[in-house]
Amino acid sequence: MILQFWNSHMNRPAPDLLKPRKTPLQARSTVTVEAIHTATIQVLLADGVGRLTTTRVAERAGVSVGTMYQYYPHKQALLFAIVERQLDLIVTAMLAAVEQLKGRDLRSVAEGLATAWLDAKMADVVSSRAIYGIAAEFDLAELMDRAKVALVEAISSLLKAVPDARLADTNSAAFMLTALLGGSVRVVMEAVTEEEDFERLRRELPRACFGYLRLVSNEPAERARNADQ
């Protein structure tokens, strides 16, 4: 088990080798790259990562292999782009939710963030599970850190403006809230899950987020009471 873990990490390609050769700038190029991404997910779902090749993806996308290589030099770069794209979509959805929740009360903020995260992750559960499966193939530390910083900063700012609560450390609360959202959803989605489990997650995750935020918002008052005793 340890040897398998070590080998999988030793074989991970360096991040610099995973960068696309070029970025689509024109509308036609953007449509082509979107078709390639969609085809990649379809091949992953149909054949698995072991049988995925750039040729199969090109055929499914309706483009030539030469066109594929204009953007992605090899299979690993293509798969990395899929993971990066999914992460960017999640961050974008959460930042939009933060904007919509500004000035709302603590319960609305907690439930709104949880709902936005669930909506983003469960818009296509099958594809999300496929992406989880290939994410372990890469060193995602830089991507994950960038996403974490963006989310913690945005959520911390949101929590500072909540009118009905005062949190002593909004950065810590935002960090834990992000971890709660990400970890709980991943555990459920990576398991062999029944539909009722997803329904339970939608019902309970907003409650869990609100319970945590309510608890930490009361900590300063509780400390003051304990100091007086």
Q: Are residues 159 and 59 in the same domain?
A: no
Q: Are residues 159 and 133 in the same domain?
A: yes
Task: State which residues form the domain around 176.
Answer: 83-228
Q: Are residues 133 and 223 in the same domain?
A: yes
What's the pLDDT band for 22 if we cut at 50, 70, 90? low
Task: Count Cβ atoms below 10 Å from residue 106 Cβ, excluding itself.
Answer: 18
The answer to whether residues 175 and 51 touch, using CB atoms and an 8 Å cutoff, is no
Q: Are residues 148 and 211 in the same domain?
A: yes
CA angle 62-76-152, nearest 5°?
105
Q: Are residues 54 and 90 in the same domain?
A: no
Q: Are residues 98 and 173 in the same domain?
A: yes
Q: Flag whether pLDDT at 164 surpasses 50.
A: yes
Question: How far is residue 110's CA from residue 101's CA, in Å, rounded to a whole number?
Answer: 9
The residue among 77, 93, 201, 104 whose CA lies nearest residue 147 is: 93
Looking at the structure of the chain, the number of domains it has is 2
Among 75, 96, 127, the domain-final residue is: 75
Residue carrying the six token digits 């499966």: 133
Q: How far is CA 179 from CA 12, 67, 174, in A?
A: 25, 39, 9
Predicted structure pTM score: 0.77
Write the CB contacts of 64 (distance below 8 Å, at least 6 apart in sequence): 58
> Of 118-127, 161-170, 217-226, where does mean pLDDT reach its minimum?
217-226
